[in-house]
Structure 1
Amino acid sequence: MYWLWYLYGLAALLAVGWLIRAIPRRKLKRARTMPCQIKRILFSPEEHALFAVLKSAIGNEFEIFAKIRASDILSPHPGIGRREAGELYQSMAGRRFTFVLCHKPDLSVAGIVELAEHGTGRKLQEPDDPVVLLCHAAGLPLIRIPASPYYDTGEIARQVKDEIRREPVFVHGDSESGRIEPRISSLEDLKF
């Protein structure tokens, strides 16, 4: 009679093993058959034109990254409350910056370049615009360039130079002076 219990146990063990092996296969098969396609064009024609002019206007001083999520470069201050942090994340939800300029040596964020679409009926920088509010709160320079079939390289270079200056980073109330100095932790890999 005891052998019958062993037989039931073995059957249950085999059934559980079969279920464990069968479940991941079904999920994997669904993932393989999910319909999707590649978007071959990353930029709209206006964004592509602005990217080409911006690249020649900034020279070798900055790197350009495109379509970066706001939540990738902005975060709440450490001492902020949950409600305020939630409001910040809600205002950043789904928001992408057209172009992010970064300093070449350390790839720190230098500023934001936004393409202002025509036909929206809004001014270039309204104070209640979420992008303006986010950039102002972070102390991040924002350059809005109206969509156009032609961009003046010299004018864009001037705007970038006027708005983005390499200054020390300041943190509100974190230290006595509020200034953060860059530090090198290891000199072994540096070549002089």
Structure 2
Amino acid sequence: MELAIILMMILIVVAIGAVKLNEPSLTFPFKKKTNLFTPVERSFVTLIDEAVGNQFRIMCRVKLSDVVATRESVNKKTSKSAFSRTSGRQLDFVLCSREDMSPVIAIDLVHANQNGKDGYKRQRDWFVSGALDAARIPHVRIKVRSGYTAQDIRQCIDAKLASVRIASSNTPLISGTAGQVKDPNVATRPTKPLGQNPIAA
């Protein structure tokens, strides 16, 4: 009987030791990713950096809630609801001022593939567009294609920034996150075709 109790205690001690030894791997079952970005994202961040890297700081995969905030005049319920909707949205790239890191323009990549992960931004998210419009942050949606050059990206960004500056000086903003009067001259994507074939992923 005593021998059985001793053996049982030894088994318990061994079991506890085994759990302790394996605890880190059970709690943190992670490994390092080989890259932060997909091949398409890497291609675009390189182009953007070449196009405007000396003018802006490029932030990747930024939460919408990191670049917009609710106005002070909004009641708590509306503010909480708006924040909840922004926290689940993500922008592919945000170009920020080099001086104070304030957001200047948001860029999203639009994949042609409608199915699967690659097609998740094929359809415009009107909440994202409305929130950025209300915050007066220009939003560019660029179709994923091959043949882009840094000059193409530069022209697209410059055209969007110029048109938004003109529109913001003439167009009133109605109170709220929706209701901004749209200027038909405001570009929402590159003003000319930028290549013919999809970028190889």
Q: TM-score, normalised by structure 2?
A: 0.60
Counterpart of 2:34? 40
How many pairs align?
A: 143
Counterpart of 2:149? 152
Distance (Å, rounded) in 2 between the aligned partners of 1:80 and 1:30: 45
Distance (Å, rounded) in 2 between the aligned partners of 1:144 and 1:67: 14
Matched, 1:57 2:54: no
Counterpart of 1:143? 140
Distance (Å, rounded) in 2 between the aligned partners of 1:164 and 1:61: 13
Of all paired residues, the percent bearing the same amino acid is 25
Contact 1:46 1:148 in 2 (8 A): no
After superposition, give the CA deviation of every residue in 1:134-159 in whole Å (9 maximum; x if it has no partner). Answer: 21121110111111233232221011
Contact 1:56 1:153 in 2 (8 A): yes
Shift of 1:113: 1.0
Distance (Å, rounded) in 1 between the aligned partners of 2:81 and 2:27: 38
Shift of 1:42: 1.0
User: Which of the two has higher C-alpha Rg?
Assistant: 1
Shift of 1:75: 1.2
Q: What 5-or-longer segments of structure 2 have no aligned partner?
A: 1-19, 174-201
Q: What 5-or-longer segments of structure 1 have no aligned partner?
A: 1-25, 173-192
Q: 1:36-185, aligned counterparts within 5 Å?
A: 36-120=30-114, 126=124, 129-164=126-161
Shift of 1:123: 9.2
Counterpart of 1:9? none
Distance (Å, rounded) in 1 between the aligned partners of 2:57 and 2:120: 29
Q: State the superposition RMSD in angstroms.
A: 3.2
After superposition, give the CA deviation of every residue in 1:53-73 in whole Å (9 maximum; x if it has no partner). Answer: 111111411110111111122
Moved over 6 A (4+): 121-125
Distance (Å, rounded) in 2 between the aligned partners of 1:70 and 1:84: 17
Going from structure 1 to structure 2, the CA distance change for 1:85 and 1:133 (only over 3 Å counts) comes to same
Counterpart of 1:184? none
State the one-letter code of the partner of 1:37: K
